[in-house]
A = this chain, B = another copy of it.
Amino acid sequence: MASQTVPQATAERLPLYYRTLQQLVANGKTRISSSKFGELVQIDSTTIRKDFSYFGALGRKGYGYDTQYLMDFLKKTLYQDELNRVILIGVGHLGTALLNHNFLKNNNTQIVRAYDVDPKKIGTKVSGTKVFAMDELAANDHHEIVAAILTVPAAQAQEAAEKALASGIRGFLNFSPTTLNLPENAYVRHVDMTVELQALIYFLNHSMETKNS
């Protein structure tokens, strides 16, 4: 429903644009044309200009785009000018890796607490983040938390998501290899490594129609 004037495909490209602009600014580039930028992100320059145009006239004809200005604009648009607090559910191999990763570097996001079922992990700190008992999850107040990162086994994902939802969380980054069934007011993005790997293998084999040697 929502009066979404920006196409979904455009919105999904914004983070890539933002990161690339961060690099350009860091390297001292003050301006860039849509075609040069397109080469960097491997997206057609027309698509880039059209993407930006949904937000108004961000560039100047004959000049291109001011990297600093554009970066700042995207920073606000992506809410990266404020700290985004998230929780992590499931302190296994992947969960631990994400806790160590620390999104704060390039991403104004902080994992403020973690949850797990393992009594050995509960109460400990992993890379500075305290681990709480899964039982507490549903009862806690997480209305200040923007999202939950789900790194539990597939069998527990649905239940964990429901508990997080009960605690006030509406956004989910789901790393568990299963489809979540949540009410409409929740929003889920699924990162599925198994799917990606299988898709990769499929496309590799099917682009070899023109196989040589």
Chain A residues in contact with chain B, CB under 8 A? 1-4, 6, 11-12, 14-16, 18-20, 40-42, 77-80, 84, 86, 93-94, 96-98, 100-101, 103, 106-107, 109, 146-147, 170-173, 177, 179, 181, 187, 189, 191-210
CB pair A194–B107 under 8 Å, yes or no, is yes
CB pair B200–A187 under 8 Å, yes or no, is yes
* A209-B3 contact given A187-B200, A198-B18, A200-B173, CB 8 Å threshold: yes
Contact residue among B2, B15, B200, B201 (Cβ-Cβ distance under 8 Å from A198) = B15
Q: Point out the residues of chain B lying under 8 angstroms from A189, CB to CB.
A: 196, 199-200, 203
CB pair B78–A201 under 8 Å, yes or no, is yes
CB pair A146–B194 under 8 Å, yes or no, is no
Contact residue among B4, B19, B106, B195 (Cβ-Cβ distance under 8 Å from A19) = B195
* A179-B103 contact given A97-B97, A171-B201, CB 8 Å threshold: no
Contact residue among B42, B177, B187, B191 (Cβ-Cβ distance under 8 Å from A106) = B177
Contact residue among B84, B195, B205 (Cβ-Cβ distance under 8 Å from A15) = B195
A79 CA to B198 CA, complexed, in Å = 8
Q: Point out the residues of chain B lying under 8 angstroms from A209, CB to CB.
A: 1-4
CB pair B103–A94 under 8 Å, yes or no, is no
CB pair B2–A210 under 8 Å, yes or no, is yes
**CB of A190 to closest CB in B, whole Å:** 9
Contact residue among B1, B98, B203, B210 (Cβ-Cβ distance under 8 Å from A210) = B1
Give 8 pairs: A residue, B residue, CB < 8 Å, sorted on A. Answer: A2-B206, A12-B195, A15-B195, A15-B198, A172-B200, A173-B196, A191-B193, A191-B196
* A198-B78 contact given A41-B179, A101-B94, CB 8 Å threshold: yes
**CB of A129 to closest CB in B, whole Å:** 13
**CB of A67 to closest CB in B, whole Å:** 17
Q: Point out the residues of chain B lying under 8 angstroms from A202, CB to CB.
A: 11, 14-15, 77-79
A171 CA to B15 CA, complexed, in Å = 24
CB pair B16–A195 under 8 Å, yes or no, is yes
